[in-house]
Every structure is written in structure tokens, then in C-alpha cells.
Amino acid sequence: MKNTTKSRILEEALVLFAENGYRGTNLRELAARLGLSKSALYKHYESKEAIWNALIDMLEAYYAERFGSVDNMPKTPESKEELLSMTMGMIRFTVYDERIILTRKLLITEQFHDERIRRLATKHFMEGTKNIFAAVFQRMMDAGIAKQDDPVMLAFLYTAPVTALVHLCDREPSRHEEVIEQIEVFIKDFIRRYL
Amino acid sequence: MKNTTKSRILEEALVLFAENGYRGTNLRELAARLGLSKSALYKHYESKEAIWNALIDMLEAYYAERFGSVDNMPKTPESKEELLSMTMGMIRFTVYDERIILTRKLLITEQFHDERIRRLATKHFMEGTKNIFAAVFQRMMDAGIAKQDDPVMLAFLYTAPVTALVHLCDREPSRHEEVIEQIEVFIKDFIRRYL
DNA sequence: TTGACAAGTGACCATTTGGTCACTTGCAAT
DNA sequence: ATTGCAAGTGACCAAATGGTCACTTGTCAA
């Protein structure tokens, strides 16, 4: 991102809002972390709520880019092994990248307090990922790499357990490795059963 | 529950903590909802944190009873149809009961702010439910109702998608019926594929 | 009847927090 | 050099909030 004060505020706001929630975040600490005085924040955003809304704008843009267009879908795996390695690559990234972890925490903890967050959560944790993999499986079936089946149901059977384990990673960071192992076991099992 | 003031406080605290979070809850509103003055609360609990801790004690007791002992497991279904109807019964209850909805919301939104809540969340959303159904499937296999398979993996494949859909219900109450329909479709699909 | 005590009240306090404002500072354009 | 302005500061304000305390009330045992 641009290194302007305005965007630095959003980056730091993500950290605080994700860790302490909207109500648990106070502008003095946010300012202090940026080496600013609280009143400086008001030169860039007119209120705490405005910071919050701008942050959600940013997250919405990110998710639109990630889930919105067919172009940004993962390339179709050309074998079952490639589906495994591709998915594991995505998972490892998503589970270790600090910014993405914080984003998920924000979606989780604020989903009942903000309408736009609620929509993002559904898109990210359910429909979005499911649709992506429905398309992937459809292509794999067309290419004869996977058995014929209902691609949407298959995508759901694939993404729901993985998402559950990613949540587990967020909740219990100390079990990261063990859980990633579980994800790999699950995917191999899935491939054996369905593809 | 006993209708003492002390337990009424906890019941109302569950509502407020679940809807507004720990930090977003204030004792004046809690007291007002109970028709009490704020200082009366302090006759029963020594601080806001004490109310919080007592509430978690209550939830822990509830989950220990529900997931803790083999006795409280659902009775083993005697046919595949009975597995479907039993599960749907559980789901319908869990998805419509206001108190349970609030409890899930609390687990979800406060899981990163409190260690005991974090543990409860893992137990409730992952290990607990999984273990219950692992036992159910094991018994069904022993009874020859289900094909031989790894009961733990099967339980995971069963509970993770259902749990994801229950979360969706919590997030989008207006889609309740549609989502419950999805759960039923999923379970029928699951039974056809595995059992 | 009285004394003791749990339960409840309302006024009060200190702290936290979002927000405002008059003022300074550094830099870029003329 | 001067002017204009975005960026930043620190003091201040009002509201909200957790917590305390002296006082009242209703009930039950002796």
C-alpha cells in the first residue's frame, strides 16, 4: 500500500480493531502506535466511525479482487496431485500471513455488529470460496481429471471442512502445524473418495 | 434455572454480552433490564468481570453436561433414515433456540478475547461434536447399518459442513429455512455417499 | 417487639474516551 | 522572501462507565 499517513492509519486500525473489536479500540492508542497525537487522526478521518468505514471499504475492495472476477481464480490443476499442492499452498499462505489472519479475526468477531462485515463473512467463509472451487472442479471434470459429480456440492464438501480447520488455526495458533497436517490428510482423503 | 436475582443477572448478561460483547456491555443497561439499580448488581457479584466469569462457569457446566459424558450422547440411530431425522431434530433445535443462538454468538465473538471461551469454542465447534458423531458412526458400523470406514474422519466430514451451515444461520437469520433445507440436502448426500 | 441481615437505592467519584479548537510547523508555489 | 495550506500538537470538554458508600426496606428468628 501507499505509505501515506492516511493508509498507515488504516493498517494500524486493522490490527487494533481485529484484536480488540470496534468498541475495544481507542483512538489514543491507535495514534500512539503511529507516533501521532490523537488529534492528528482527525486531519485524515472525521471520526472513529469514518476510520472503521474506510477500513471496511479497503477489505471489500480486497475481497472483490480476490473472489469477484473469474480472472483471479486459481489456475485449473492438471492433476489430482496438483490440486493438493495448489490448495496446500493457498492454505499455508492464508494461515501464516499476519494481515489475512487479522482480517479473518475482524470478520469473525464483528460479523454480528456490522452489516457489511456480515456480508463479507458470508462471502469469504461460505459462498465465495465455494464458488471458486465449484468452478475449479467443473473444469477438472471437463478435462477428465475428476469423476463426474455435482461440482457445487463437491466444492462445499471440500471448502467447509478446510475452512473449519483454518478457523481452528486462528483460534489455536500453537497447533498450527498439527492442524495443517490435518488439512493435508483431509484433502488426500477427499481426492481418494471423489476425484 | 432458579429464578433468583443472581441467576437472572446471568441470563440477562448472556443476552447483552452475546449481542454487544464484553466491552460493549454496560452495567447500567444490564441492571435496568432487570428492573434493578446498578448498585444492586454489586450485592450479587463483586465486579463486571465477576459476572462475566460466572457466566462462563455456567456455559462450561452446560457444555460439560452436553459433550462431556457418554451418557448424554444421542441414542444410536437404527437406520440411515433415523440418522437423518435425529440430526435434523438436533439442528432445528440448536438453530431456533434463542439461548443457544446467543451462546454461539458469545463463543464466536469473544473467542479471541478470553482463554476459556476459546477452549469452549474449539470443544463446541470442532472436537466435541466430532467426537460425538465418531461414536455414533462407530456404533452404526458395529451394528452393520453403515459401511466400514474411519469413524473419526467420517464424523469430521459430517460435522464440519453442518457446523458451517449453522454458522450461516446465525449470521443470516432471514435465510433460516433455505439453509436448513441445504443441511437436509447435505445430509442425504452424505448418507448416500458413505453409509 | 426487636434486632440482624440480605437486598436494594441514589448520589457521588475517578477514569476513559470520542471529539473540538486555537495554535505551530514545514514545505511548495508565486 | 512571502503566502497559503496540509499536517500535527496539546489543552480542553462532555458523556459514558465501573465502582463505592451511606442509607432504607422487608423479612425472619429469638
Q: What mean pLDDT do residues B85-102 have?
A: 97
pLDDT at position B134 is 96
Show the DSSP H helices in chain A as ranges.
Answer: 5-24, 27-33, 38-41, 48-63, 80-96, 98-110, 115-122, 128-142, 151-171, 176-194
Contact yes or no for A137/A86 (Cβ under 8 A): no
**Measured between alpha carbons, how far is B119 from B63 in angstroms, rounded to an integer?**
11
pLDDT-based confidence at B75, cuts 50/70/90?
Answer: confident
- The grid coordinates listed for A60 are 471489500
Search chain A and give the residue with CA nearest B26: A23
- The grid coordinates listed for A76 are 485449473
Protein CA at A54 to nucleotide C1' at D5, angstroms: 24
Protein CA at B55 to nucleotide C1' at D22, angstroms: 30
pLDDT at position B12 is 98
Protein CA at B100 to nucleotide C1' at D26, angstroms: 37
pLDDT at position A1 is 52
pLDDT at position A195 is 86
Residue pLDDT, tens place only, A22-68: 999 999 999 999 999 999 999 999 999 999 999 999 999 999 988 87
Looking at the complex, report in whole angstroms how far the Cα of residue A102 sits from the nearest Cα belonging to chain B.
Answer: 11
pLDDT at position B72 is 72
Better pLDDT: A125 or B3: A125
pLDDT over 70 percentage in chain B: 99
User: What residues of chain A, 9 to 38, have a C-beta less than 8 Å from chain B?
Assistant: 19-21, 23-24
Task: Compute and round to an integer the Cα radius of gyration of chain B.
Answer: 19
Whether the pLDDT of residue B127 is over 90: the answer is yes
pLDDT at position A73 is 76
User: Which residues are CB-contacts of B130 (< 8 A; sequence separation ≥ 6)?
Assistant: B152, B155, B156, B159, B160
Contact yes or no for B138/B150 (Cβ under 8 A): no
pLDDT over 90 percentage in chain B: 91
Judged by C1' against the alpha carbon of B49, the nearest nucleotide is D18
Chain A with chain B: Cβ pairs closer than 8 A: 86
pLDDT at position B51 is 98
A118:B171 CB<8 A? yes
Judged by C1' against the alpha carbon of A24, the nearest nucleotide is C17
Looking at the complex, report in whole angstroms how far the Cα of residue B154 sits from the nearest Cα belonging to chain A.
Answer: 10
Contact yes or no for A155/A133 (Cβ under 8 A): yes
Q: What mean pLDDT do residues B101-127 have?
A: 98
Whether the pLDDT of residue B181 is over 90: the answer is yes
Protein CA at B40 to nucleotide C1' at D30, angstroms: 29
Domains annotated on chain A, with CATH? 1-58 (1.10.10.60), 67-194 (1.10.357)
Show the DSSP H helices in chain B as ranges.
Answer: 5-24, 27-33, 38-41, 48-63, 80-96, 98-110, 115-122, 128-142, 151-171, 176-194
Rounded to the nearest integer, the mean pLDDT of chain A is 95
pLDDT-based confidence at B2, cuts 50/70/90?
Answer: confident
**Measured between alpha carbons, how far is B67 from B107 in angstroms, rounded to an integer?**
16
Better pLDDT: A3 or A169: A169
Q: Model-level pTM?
A: 0.95
Residue of A156, A176, A188 best to disrupt the B interface, most CBs of B under 10 A = A156
Contact yes or no for B17/B25 (Cβ under 8 A): yes
Residue of A109, A119, A186 best to disrupt the B interface, most CBs of B under 10 A = A109
Answer yes or no: is B28 CB < 7 A from strand D. yes
Whether the pLDDT of residue A9 is over 60: the answer is yes
Whether the pLDDT of residue B15 is over 90: the answer is yes
- The grid coordinates listed for B45 are 457479584
Give strand C nucleotides closer than 7 A to any protein Cβ.
Answer: 6-11, 16-22
Element (DSSP H or E) covering residue A150: none
Residues written for chain B: 195
A121:B171 CB<8 A? yes
Contacts of A23 in chain B (CB under 8 A): 20-21, 23-24
Contacts of A105 in chain B (CB under 8 A): 112
Search chain B and give the residue with CA nearest A170: B112
Give strand D nucleotides closer than 7 A to any protein Cβ.
Answer: 6-11, 16-22
Contact yes or no for B73/B135 (Cβ under 8 A): yes
User: What residues of chain A, 103 to 132, have a C-beta less than 8 Å from chain B?
Assistant: 105, 108-113, 118, 121-122, 125-126
User: Which residues are CB-contacts of A152 (< 8 A; sequence separation ≥ 6)?
Assistant: A130, A134
Query: Residues 43-62 of chain B: which lie with beta carbon within 7 Å of strand D?
Result: 46-49
Whether the pLDDT of residue B169 is over 60: the answer is yes
Contact yes or no for A123/A67 (Cβ under 8 A): yes
Whether the pLDDT of residue B1 is over 80: the answer is no
